[in-house]
Amino acid sequence: MANIILPVFILLPLLTFLISLFIAGNREKLLSGIAFFAGGIHLLLSAAFIVWWLVNDSIPLNIKEFVIYETPTYEFYIDLYFDRIGAAFLIVGSFLTFLVTIYSRYYLHREKGYKRFFNTILFFFSGYNVIILSGNLETMFTGWEILGLSSFLLIAFYRDRYLPVKNALKVFSIYRIGDVGIVLAMWASHLLWHENIPFIKLQQAELVHHHLETQSAIGLFISIMFLLAAAAKSAQFPFSSWLPRAMEGPTPSSAIFYGSLSVHLGVFLLLRTYPFWEHQFFIRLLIALCGVITAIICTLIARVQSSIKSQVAYGSAAQIGLMFIEISLGLELLALLHFAGNAFLRTYQLLVSPSVVSYLIKEQFFNFIPRKNTIEDSWPKRVEYAIYLLSLKEFNLDKLMDFMVWTPLKRIGKNLDFLSVNVVIAIFIPMYLGGLFLWYTGIQSQLCHAYLPGLFAFIGLLMVFKSFSERKSPLLAWVLILMHYLWTTLAISFNETFAIKESIFYLSGALVSGVLGYLIIRKLKKIEGKIDLNGFYGHIYEYPVMGLWLMLACMGLMGFPISPTFIGVDLVFSHIHYDQLFLAICVTLSFVVTGISLVRLYARIFLGPHIKRYHETPLKSS
């Protein structure tokens, strides 16, 4: 029974998503009815399956579905796993999605993006089920990427406005930082286990202890990467500031994404990997410290917010901080109960938030009586005022992220202004041809294997940094990203086990998507004339088909599941040796910044207020 039902939990929302793509946007009853049907059937199946599973001794289930790509040294396969952690997240996710579907049928009535909203919700729900039912890191990362893209689409739902698009880019960028953790954890896991390790094997304490005993440094590195991914996904310190920015989307998407389901997936990741790091005291201390700092800071910030959505967002982040503490203490059942309670509460608060605004205004005018004494009055006034001002400024978390991540990236990009088309043709193409000659003829030495992979991967990373900071030419930004794939492939090719057919497989998706995107941008530039990346153009209104195809090209080029590029990224990492940390960091940063650069390019060309003034133009400030 499990072999049939577990895949259905993923396929049901996925199939209804594909069906809804072909329904006209003005058929609201049919669009919402399909989502309502999928949510209802999913909820009934989830409840029935969990009851059946509990009756049958609650034994963890592991199902290896099918192998997508296989070589003599590597196997990429979809694996499903179900235990009490998955059961809790499954039933809560199914119930809340069904509830929000009912609410959205009426809340979004006659909204321009009615079809887009329900398409994206079904798409999100498919990715959510992939994550909570995943049996290995590769399967989990498939759903992880789906959630990242659906988050961007829902936050930028009001795509004719400036702030939703800008905040969608900010949230997507933070998600990509979390991707660093998952990607590097997958790479280090390949080195530690020498296989695509399923989660069910992590339950074997003797096996885990045996591997960590001899390679404790790798085990510590993997655990830190898990914490990085979880903190970014669940808006924990220092990433907490993205959560209220994500509330720019419609209220139902804010409820299901950033109040209940998506924001708790960091908790899920830590619970799922707990058997791996439970005996690493340093990691447990880090997780608890992250939770404590987040709980304190977000509680203080929530108390001074003037927006209900921001209050709920920071309140939710503070509660997730407490869940991190519970997990670090080994209180799995308490963390699951806390997750369910927080998810239901935040969903309710966000869904009633439009009504609460009117209630509070009435209360303020007629019945409001301020408290005479508060706990803060017992503090020294200088401390009280300092904390109040810091809370108003949200503890400068945005500035901290700018200082740590975005300013250095932009500075690096500005220093790469010499990377013009002429320089690429005159210097880097001959270098690339020289590298190809060394690889093809086999004129390689120990020096080549030691330094050339890192050098070539670093050149590819420079191309990506330049693309990220490029403001003048979208064509140049696109071509630089395409070239980075060629440099990365050449870098990995010097590792003796990376066969030519694997190179072709890795490049196939990138080249097809790259050529498609280049032709679309060139055609749009020919029609519209000047197009740069200094602002938002909003061309989606006049060229919706071109916008769709460019989005598909971006998805193929950034390695969206389950494209050849996506599988190729994991394939590339499986050939990076344990002593090639610099190579691994270059390839990981390239993968992450490529996604940010591509989404930024798409958003600036096709989203935001339209450049032509005969279209309705909303104000920049909300």
For residues 410-418, average pLDDT: 76
CA-based nearest residue to 259, from 347, 363, 348: 347
- Cis ω before 238 (30° cut-off from 0): yes
* Cβ pair 314, 239 in contact under 8 A: no
Average pLDDT over residues 485-493: 84
pLDDT of residue 269: 94
Whether residues 424 and 285 share a domain: the answer is: no
- What lies within 8 Å, CB to CB, of 209 at 6+ separation is 279
Q: Residue 461 domain-assigned?
A: yes
Identify whether 494 is part of a domain: yes
Q: What is the pLDDT of residue 621?
A: 47
Q: Average pLDDT, stretch 8-23?
A: 90
**Could you give the CA distance from residue 484 to residue 517 in angstroms, rounded to a whole number?**
15
According to the model, what pLDDT value does residue 138 have?
85
**pLDDT tens-digit map of 419-454:** 766 777 777 777 777 776 666 666 555 656 667 788
Residue with tokens 């104000």: 619
User: What mean pLDDT do residues 486-510 have?
Assistant: 77
User: How high is the pLDDT of residue 228?
Assistant: 93
Query: C-alpha distances in angstroms, 540 versus 159, 170, 171, 447?
Result: 9, 20, 21, 50
User: Does 286 score more than 90 pLDDT?
Assistant: yes
Domain co-membership, 433 together with 517: yes
Residue 303 has pLDDT above 90, yes or no: no
Cα 346 from chain centroid (whole Å): 21
Percent of the chain with pLDDT over 90: 24
**CA–CA gap between residue 551 and residue 543 (Å, rounded):** 12
Residue 73 CA to residue 291 CA, distance in Å, equals 39
Phi, psi torsion values for 78, nearest 5 degrees:
-90, 125
Q: Please state, in angstroms and rounded to a whole number, the distance separating the CA atoms of residues 377 and 307.
A: 24
Same domain, 573 and 489: yes
Residue 379 lies in a domain: no
**Mean of the pLDDT values across residues 124-131?**
92
Distance, in Å, from the CA atom of 316 to the CA atom of 260, rounded to the nearest integer, reads: 9
Number of domains in the chain: 2
Q: Is residue 252 part of a domain?
A: yes
Domain ends where: 359, 378, 407? 359
User: Which residues lie below 8 Å from residue 503, measured CB to CB, with a gap of 6+?
Assistant: 489, 492, 493
pLDDT band at residue 550 under the 50/70/90 scheme: very high
Residue 616 falls within a domain, yes or no? no
Residue 135: its pLDDT value, please? 87
Residues 161 and 279 occupy one common structural domain: yes
Same domain, 104 and 248: yes
Query: What average pLDDT does this structure show over 141-164?
Result: 87
Candidate from 76-80, 271-275, 292-296 with smallest mean pLDDT: 76-80
pLDDT at 622 over 50: no
Domain with 504, as residue range(s), is 415-606
Could you tell me if residue 618 is inside a domain?
no
Question: 143 and 20 in one domain?
Answer: yes
| Res. 289: pLDDT tops 90 | yes
389 lies in some domain: no
Asked if 174 and 295 sit in the same domain, the reply is yes
Domain match, 342 and 426 both? no
Residue that wins the pLDDT comparison between 144 and 580? 144
180-200: average pLDDT: 83
Q: What is the mean pLDDT of the segment spanning 511-518?
A: 90
Q: Are residues 436 and 349 in the same domain?
A: no
41 and 154 co-located in one domain = yes
- Show which of 359, 381, 399 is a domain's final residue: 359
What token pair was written down for 367?
Answer: 């019945």
In a domain, 397, yes or no: no
Asked which of 59-63, 403-407, 515-519 is least confident by mean pLDDT, the reply is 403-407
Mean pLDDT (whole number) for 496-522: 81
pLDDT class for 618, splitting at 50, 70, 90? low
- What is the band of 337 on the pLDDT scale with cuts at 50, 70, 90? very high
Residues 335 and 461 in one domain: no
Q: Report, as an integer, the average pLDDT of 583-603.
A: 89
As a whole number of angstroms, the distance between CA 559 and CA 568 comes to: 8
Please check the confidence at residue 365 and state whether its pLDDT lies above 60. no
Provide the residue type at 478 as one letter: W
What is the rounded distance in angstroms from the CA atom of residue 85 to the CA atom of residue 139?
17
119 alpha-carbon distance from chain centroid: 18
Average pLDDT over residues 270-296: 92
Contact 140, 196 (CB under 8 A): no
308 in the same domain as 434: no
> If pLDDT is split at 50, 70 and 90, which confidence band does 1 have?
low
Q: What share of the chain is helix, strand, coil (3-state, %, to 5)?
A: 75, 5, 20
Residue of 390 and 413 predicted with greater confidence? 390
Instruction: Output the six-digit token pair for 600.
Output: 């930024």
| 3-state SS track over 475-541 | HHHHHHHHHHHHHHHHHHHCCCCCCHHHHHHHHHHHHHHHHHHHHHHHHHHHHHCCCCCCCCCCHHH
Residue 74's DSSP bridge partners are 71
Q: What is the Cα–Cα distance from 508 to 514, expressed in whole angstroms?
A: 10
Is the pTM of the predicted complex or chain greater than 0.85?
Answer: yes
Task: Provide the 8-state DSSP code for 247.
Answer: G
